[in-house]
Amino acid sequence: MFIESPRYTERFGSVRMNHVQTVVSLDSGAKSDLPPPGAMGVIKIAEETIKDFENKMAIVIPVKDEKLKLFEGVVSGVPHDCLVIVVSNSQREKVDRFRMEGDALKQLCHFTFRQALIAHQKDPAIAEAAMEAGYDSLLGEDGLVRDGKSEGMVIGLLMAKVADKEYVGFVDADNYFPGAVLEYVRNFAAGFSLAQSPYSMVRILWHYKPKISGGLYFRKWGRTSEITNKHLNDLISSKTGFETEVVRTGNAGEHAMSMNLAEILPYASGYAVEPQELVSIFESFGGILPTKEPKVMGQGIDIFQIETRNPHLHEEKGEEHVRNMLLCSLSTIYHSPLSSEEIKQAIVTELVRQQSLKEGEEPPPVHMICSPKKVDSKKLISKLREDLDKYRVLP
């Protein structure tokens, strides 16, 4: 593909956050040549390079009672060389939607000669492995893995580690365009190929987010994303003393990390997970607070934000979902030790204005899942590896 060169990089301690890079062309051809790197504003990412990173990558698809056709489409869009890992929290009673998802995945894998893993979030074996490893923050009062998108992502991350993958990407299951999913993963690979550090992250910015309202209107920004981005940028600006708009992907559901980075980050429960990843990176490696990872501090964190060519059309969840998502997102910033009183007050004012909070209330803290590195991950991985055949779609 052809992609813009990073035009500007915001440096916040050891964090290198690149401004948005746009995909110029989805395919760069087998023989097309470019001037030497740095001679122009566009980089060619060779197909061989993209395929090499795809082969090292697992794509985790958290799903909960989504339309089966959407789920099938998302899986079909994942490049063949990536390992697909589905973590479902769909219902098992009355209509067993988890079984339906498994059947659809098995059929697709059978006809395309690919392997995949599928697990239910409430699988007692996964909860038992987590309990033995001391991963209490992943578990609920019933002894099973907690409900929530983030919890499913952590299970997928652990299974990717069991499969010895070097990179892990996350893609939402409610996407109407399989071709967009294909582009997301190729963009992940392109970003990783540009990284200087083994601790890297690629976050996707949708080109447009269409809304069907009488006609088809191509919106540039979702409301939650726009507000979250503003307050994340304010957080950085308050510490550097310079206004910035570098963060454009605060709520990027489609994102990927090197395994080296993924296993040292904590994860916020539910829909707070994507902004919390950035907040945690800023806290640990922004140079303001003490770090517990001096080695990582020395090598730095590379964050890429890549704007797609494909628009993103997903299932509309309603106003209540938007308000809840906004509350979770801004709570991660509000409760960060980096936040000043001015930032906290601005967040409360915004949440009241958006009807996510009532006057006099403050955002509740989100539940945090500790990083996999802080538990007995060897025991956890070993236990999951013993049961790996159980999660394989094909024998």
Helices of type H across 163-215 = 178-194
pTM of the model: 0.94
In angstroms, the CA 122 to CA 259 distance is 24
What pLDDT is attached to residue 322? 84
With 0-12 CB in 10 A as exposed, 13-18 as middle and 19+ as buried, what is 141? exposed
By C-alpha distance, which of 59, 257, 58, 277 is closest to 150? 277
In angstroms, the CA 82 to CA 344 distance is 41
> Model confidence over 11-60: pLDDT tens digits?
999 999 999 999 999 998 876 666 565 557 889 999 999 999 999 999 99
What is the CA angle 145-258-381, rounded to 5?
40
Instruction: Point out which residues pair with 306 in neighbouring strands.
Output: 21, 204
What is the CA angle 164-131-56, rounded to 5?
10
Instruction: Point out which residues pair with 267 in neighbouring strands.
Output: 369
Residue type, 276: Q
In angstroms, the CA 241 to CA 134 distance is 41
DSSP letter for 29, please.
Answer: -
What pLDDT is attached to residue 7? 86
Contact by Cβ (8 Å): 179, 77: yes
Which residues, including other chains, have CB under 8 Å from residue 182's CB and lie 6 or more apart? 77, 78, 79
What pLDDT is attached to residue 342? 97
Those residues of the chain that have pLDDT short of 70 are 31-39, 209-222, 314-318
Which residues, including other chains, have CB under 8 Å from residue 104's CB and lie 6 or more apart? 68, 71, 72, 75
Q: What angle, 0 to 180 degrees and rounded to 10, lies between the N-to-C axes of helices 178-194 and 68-77? A: 40
CB atoms within 10 A of CB 37: 9
**Secondary structure E strands in the chain:** 2-4, 9-12, 15-18, 21-25, 42-44, 57-63, 83-88, 116-120, 167-170, 200-205, 209-213, 215-219, 255-258, 267-268, 301-307, 368-369
What pLDDT is attached to residue 227? 94
With 0-12 CB in 10 A as exposed, 13-18 as middle and 19+ as buried, what is 215? exposed
With helix as H, strand as E and coil as C, how does 322-357 read?
HHHHHHHHHHHHHCCCCCCHHHHHHHHHHHHHCCCC
Q: Tokens for 362?
A: 């403050």
CA dist 194 → 3, 11, 291, 321 (Å): 11, 17, 25, 36
- Count Cβ neighbours within 10 Å for each residue of 83-107 and write b for 16 or more, e otherwise: bbbbbbbbeeeeeebbeebbebbee
* Side-chain half-sphere CA neighbours of 209 within 13 A: 15
Handedness of CA 49, 192, 3, 222 (dihedral sign): positive
Residue type, 71: F
What domains can you pick out in the chain, each with its CATH number?
Answer: 2-391 (3.90.550.10)
What is the CA angle 299-39-184, rounded to 5?
60
